[in-house]
Amino acid sequence: MTHRRPRFTILDVLILLILAAGAIFIFHRIRDGLHYRWEWEAIPQYLLRRDPANGTWMPNVLLQGFFTTIRLSIWATLFASLIGTAMGLLRMSTSRFRRWVGSAYVELTRNTPPLVLVFLFYFFIGEQLMPTVGLEALIRRQSSETQALLSALLAPPGRLTAFVSAVVTVSIFEGAYITEIVRAGVQSIEKGQREAAAALGLTRWQCMRYIILPQAIQRILPPLGGQFISTIKDSAIVSVISIQELTFRGMELMSATYLTFETWITITGLYFTLTFGCSLAFGRLENAWRRGRA
């Protein structure tokens, strides 16, 4: 069997010329028209700094924001997955009331601007819920080791209210999209699978657990991975409530140093490193799941 060698077509050449022309134009505008003084040598000191006490290297402004973004994204992804899975199952329930609850959650959340949700949950949780629960006061009464652990996993006690508000907001917003991913993945399984399970005497829950969900996960993984990446990017919106994540730290640094392009290009690279790493991880997970199923 002979394989045809790939060759360039006229369309490929045209696309290449358009990309080359665009790159040349951007380079020309940056070099001659921007009149900007680049100071890339100043950026590394805002990534790492040397501790004057013991001389060790510690994360500075940008890396501190980067790690906060990672913590926020992990917790938001975890809770969004739980919310999305629960609501997705409600959307497919035999109970009309449960289907209505799931549909109301999805439509209300997806049709509300995320910035509105950020302020709504921030003021409700910060002004009403947190003082009632007394979570910050409880954490302040713990030992220094416990406070350090919670600071590493969540946020320092003084910033915990805003951090929890951000996690709740991003989780609820992203959970609405995960709900539809779960629903579509489960409903894509052929009806004959459920009929065969019922013929074998399995209950609805046993059918869902042992037959439907294992097959649906393989179909859910690709869009779910894309939604997790969107969660990382959407976490930047909580900078409006002073969550000291990567975008907020970048705005602070830009205001203090006027290193506009250097700051935002570096932040873009950090976000890309995080999201591209997640994309590779989900690709490996999808391949591993497919091999395991095979």
Do residues 66 and 268 lie in contact, with contact meaning Cβ atoms separated by under 8 Å? Answer: no
More confident residue, 207 or 251: 251
Specify if 16 maps to a domain: no
Whether residue 27 is contained in a domain is answered as no
Helix (H) or strand (E) holding 57: strand 57-59
Six-digit token string for 44 = 């590394």
Q: Is residue 30 part of a domain?
A: no
Residue 110 lies in a domain: yes
Does 138 fall in a domain? yes
**147 domain residue, yes or no:** yes
Asked if the structure places residue 160 within a domain, the reply is yes
How many domains does the structure of the chain reveal? 1
Domain span at residue 54 reads 39-293
CATH at residue 69: 1.10.3720.10
- Average pLDDT of 174-199? 87
Q: Is the per-residue pLDDT at 293 higher than 60?
A: no
Q: Which residues pair with 48 in a beta bridge?
A: 59
Look up residue 59 and give its DSSP letter: E
Examine the pLDDT at 2 and tell me if it is beyond 60: no
Give the least confident one: 33-42, 170-179, 216-225.
33-42
Pairing verdict, β 48-50 and 57-59: antiparallel
Q: Using pLDDT thresholds of 50, 70 and 90, give the confidence band for residue 294.
A: very low
The reply to whether 227 falls in a domain is yes
| Mean per-residue pLDDT of the chain | 85
- pTM comes to 0.84
How large is the average pLDDT for residues 255-272?
92
pLDDT, tens only, 57-100: 888 999 999 999 999 999 999 999 999 999 998 998 888 999 99
CB 47 within 8 A of CB 250: no
Residues 195-210 have pLDDT tens digits of: 888 888 888 788 888 8
